[in-house]
Amino acid sequence: MSNFYGVGVPPEDPEKRDKEDSIKREELATEVSEHAPSDQLEERVENAIELKEIEGLSQGRIVFRRFVRHTGAMISLTVLFLVVVLAFSSIGIDALGLHLRGWWKWEYTLPHNIVNGAHPTLSLIPQWLGGSGISLGDHPFGQDEVGHDTFAQVMRGMQQSLMILFVVGLVSTAVGTIIGAVAGYFRGRLDQLLMRLTDVVIIVPLILLAAVIGRTFQNSGSFLLAVVLGLLIWTSLARLVRGEVLTLREREFVDAAKVAGASSWRIMFRHILPNAIGVIIVSATLTMSAAILLETGLSFLGFGVQFPDVSLGKLISDYSASFNTRPWLFWWPGSFIVIIALSINFIGDGLRDAFDPRQKRLLNRSARAAKSAAREKAANAGA
């Protein structure tokens, strides 16, 4: 490693750097505690320490650091990742001409011999507690009255539901961002026209409109159904993006881009929208959470995914008559719907906290230690 003049410079020791940063945080906390009233001490110490932590970091790096410190978001991200891996690795992938077998031995379309009275063979109670031991068995989630393996059906249903929610998220985000950006930047009659179109879509009950359109496209495949649903739930994002663009278009960097000769579309997509990425990402995650619930409702009503394919909502609809005799047919698809929806919501909360500068931040271990030291010093000084 060499400096600007070509002279060799020894590499920086990470442990020494961390120790120096810790000392600087303690000195900063001490300095703040000496000049701040006791009732404002804690807040000022946290702000001072956070500013010191993010000094010299890019905006993207700052957002990433804040997001990974959000415990709920990281747990939810891990759970969602495990759910996706389980769904696509267990029964394999059969889509877009790609055929990959998974590690699960049963097919979701074929009936099999009924085992254990079609009850779930999954056992989670160890033998030393009086159970049958920890084992999956042949059909861990049970079977229906015909003999279909419920685990394979739930995994296929998760694949379809996950595909639908991601496609809906992408389509609705693209449509809402473009409409909101165009309306907010150009304003005038175009803004009025696009916002009145948005109002019309909002006025019509979403589940009713989705049911009518879903009925029309239900036999065209899950992917086209997801695209159609994405074209219906972009309204909230469009309003949010419009409000953000209305604010950003008055900033100095937009005036500088105009003076430099940049076109309106270049200013919009290269300068304004990157500064509104926080609002777009957070809204997209919440839209995806609403999408899986919308797909579940449509499939339950019979307007969503159609036979021979399945989704989590369709499984609940198909086995509604067996609720009293085989309740496990509802437990598993319902549980995964709740897990997926909650995980995406918590991820959205973590992203919102990471992008919003007004949210209270989580400090790392050394920063918390410096904060505690300042608090103890203030307490001793008061005593």
Q: What is the pLDDT of residues 26-55, one digit of tens each?
A: 555 455 445 545 445 555 555 555 556 556
The answer to the question of residue 295 being in a domain is: yes
pLDDT at 1 over 60: no
pTM of the model: 0.74
Q: Are residues 196 and 88 in the same domain?
A: yes
CA distance 49 to 42: 11
Same domain (yes/no): 196, 289: yes
182 and 312 inside one domain: yes
Give residues with Cβ within 8 angstroms of 287, minimum separation 6: 168, 169, 172, 173, 233, 234, 236, 237
Residue 163's nearest CA partner among 339, 314, 295, 342 is 295
Q: How far is CA 171 from CA 68, 166, 238, 278, 287, in A?
A: 27, 9, 12, 18, 11
DSSP secondary structure, 220-258, as one string:
G-HHHHHHHHHTTS-HHHHHHHHHHHHHHTTSHHHHHHH
Residues 274, 262 share a domain: yes
Same domain membership, residue 314 and residue 168: yes
Rg (CA), the chain: 27
- Residue % of the chain over a pLDDT of 90: 17
Same domain, yes or no: 78 and 23: no
Contact 60, 274 (CB under 8 A): no
Q: Is residue 2 part of a domain?
A: no
Q: What is the DSSP letter of 269?
A: I
Q: What is the CATH number of the domain that holds 246?
A: 1.10.3720.10
| Residue tagged 């229906």 (tokens) | 144
Q: What is the pLDDT of residues 229-279, one digit of tens each?
A: 888 888 889 999 999 999 988 888 888 988 988 888 899 988 888 888 888
Give the residue among 110, 123, 188 at the shortest CA–CA distance from 153: 110
User: What is the extent of the structural domain holding 136?
Assistant: 118-147
Q: Are both 56 and 175 inside the same structural domain?
A: no
Judge whether 252 lies within some domain: yes
The whole-number average pLDDT for the span 87-91 is 89
Looking at the fold, whether 20 and 153 belong to one and the same domain comes out as no
Residue 2 has a pLDDT of 45
Helix 222-230 and helix 206-217, axial crossing angle in degrees, nearest 10: 150
- Does residue 142 sit within a domain? yes
- Tell me if 214 is assigned to some domain: yes
Same domain as 216, residue 346: yes
pLDDT for res 32: 46
- In this structure, the answer to whether residues 25 and 100 fall within a common structural domain is no
Split into its structural domains, the chain has a count of: 3
Q: Say yes or no: 34 and 48 in one domain.
A: yes
Q: Which of 40-49, 107-116, 145-154, 307-316 has the lowest mean pLDDT?
A: 40-49
Same domain, 153 and 133: no
